[in-house]
Amino acid sequence: MKGIAHFISGVAAASFCPWVVEAAQNGNPAFFILGAAAGILPDTIDFKFYRYFYRHDVSVEPRPDRLDPQPVADAIAAAVSEAAATGRPVRLKLCTLQLSADNWRQYRIRIDSDAGEVRVQFGPVVSTGQVPQPDTLPEQRPVAVAKLSAPVRQSYDSVYTVDIFDGPSFMFKGDEAGVVEIDFLSWHREWSHSFTFAALLVGLASLWMWQAGIVVFGAYAIHILEDQLGHMGSNLFFPFTKKRTSGLKWMYSGDAFPNFGCVWVCCLLIFWNLYVAIPEPLYHFSFFRLMLYAVIIPFAVFGAVHWLLVRADKGYPEITGIEWNI
């Protein structure tokens, strides 16, 4: 999920603790801030600290003036070969191609485990918002193919798009059976996304007060559990578990509807927890009524209007799709 969903989930988790709401009513915001920060902390650790110290054995940097996908495909195939031959992990990074302040050349790779090959193709120039810019597809768009020397097993998708900011990285590791396992973003959702690390933080927070420890654990744990709804999963009990436990694959982290739904429901749960903490409220409403007016009716109206508008625009090319041949 996106950062804001984790962030507000941490606040929502904190709001379930009666002492948090009581402290807030008395003017102390510390527990809510702690919940919010702990909710987003696992990703903060990974994306703002750990990844800058994570070493890669191979860094693939395509040339912007010569859009040749073959070196990229060859580098991936070579990494697989090395991992299979040595049994040692090989960490590879695919660099992005920044063209100007807000323009990036997109390219896409497919690691096809069935065909035993990797295919790479360059695409359009995209903005930092990952929106393709018009008329920027290269005239020639060859698909580079490189055969893999060993069978591969993938825990994530088979298609990866490289475009903005930092490119993706992979860890290739051969096992005793000669199969190379591909670990996507091997620096992400490892020790930082484990319940054991959460427990360590609970210990630290409890040095201040035990209630803070519970808030931190609730917010941190909800982040880990939410991530399990996606594809990648997390290494839940590092160092006792060595690999990430695969996610439920219900959604992708950037999907709009689950993210917004999570944020909205969390806001309502916080509101409800604040409401029930009022000793003799002036206004009276049930949880069902709150959900009816704030979730069911608005979402149903939005869904109906959205359906009607999409129907009305039938045949209108909303965004020109980019054709990929990989």
Partner 1 sequence: MIFTAVAAVLAGTVLACFLAVLPGLHIYNVMGLVALFLYSLQGSGLAAMPEFYIPFMLGLVTGWSVLNTIPSVLLGAPDESAIFTVMPGQKYLMAGLGYEGAMMIGAGSLAGIFMLVFLIGPFAPKFLPAVSYVLNPHMHWILWVVITFILMTEWPKFGNRGPAGWRKFSAAWSTLGAGLLTFLLSGLLGFLLLYRPPVSVDNAFQNIMPAFAGLFAIPWCLLNAISGTEVPRQYVRDALNINGDVLLRSSVAGGIGGGFAAFFPVITGGIGGLLAGHATAQRDERVFMISQGVSKVVYYTGALMLFFAPGLFLTRGGGALIVKGLYMPHTRGDYYLALGSIALSGAVSFLLLSPLTKWTLKLIGKIDYRRISVFSLGIIAALVFIITGRAGLFVMAVAAGIGLIPVLFGSRRLNCLGVLLLPIACNMSGAGEPVAAFLGLLK
The SS3 assignment for 120 reads strand
**Residue 271 makes contact with partner 1 by CB under 8 A:** yes
- One residue of 140, 256, 286, 315 binding partner 1 per CB under 8 A: 256
The SS3 assignment for 187 reads coil
Rounded Cα distance between 273 and 287, Å, is: 10
> Taking Cα atoms as reference points, which of 157, 62, 51 lies closest to residue 112?
157
Considering beta carbons, is residue 237 or 260 the nearer one to partner 1?
A: 260
Residues 151-190 that bind partner 1 (CB under 8 A): 165-167
Size of the site for partner 1 (CB under 8 A): 65
Residues 41-60 that bind partner 1 (CB under 8 A): 44, 47-49, 52-56
HSE (side-chain half, CA atoms, 13 Å) at 183: 22
**Residue 40 makes contact with partner 1 by CB under 8 A:** yes
Cβ count near 22 (within 10 Å): 12
174's enclosing H/E stretch is: strand 169-174
Cβ count near 42 (within 10 Å): 25
**Residue 208 makes contact with partner 1 by CB under 8 A:** no
**Residue 199 makes contact with partner 1 by CB under 8 A:** no
Residues 105-134 that bind partner 1 (CB under 8 A): 127-131
The SS3 assignment for 161 reads strand
Residues that bind partner 1 in the complex, under the rule CB under 8 A:
2-5, 7, 11, 24-25, 27-29, 32-33, 36-37, 40, 44, 47-49, 52-56, 61, 95-96, 100-102, 127-131, 165-167, 254-256, 259-260, 263-264, 271, 274-275, 278, 281-283, 285, 293, 302, 305-306, 309-310, 312-313, 316, 318-319
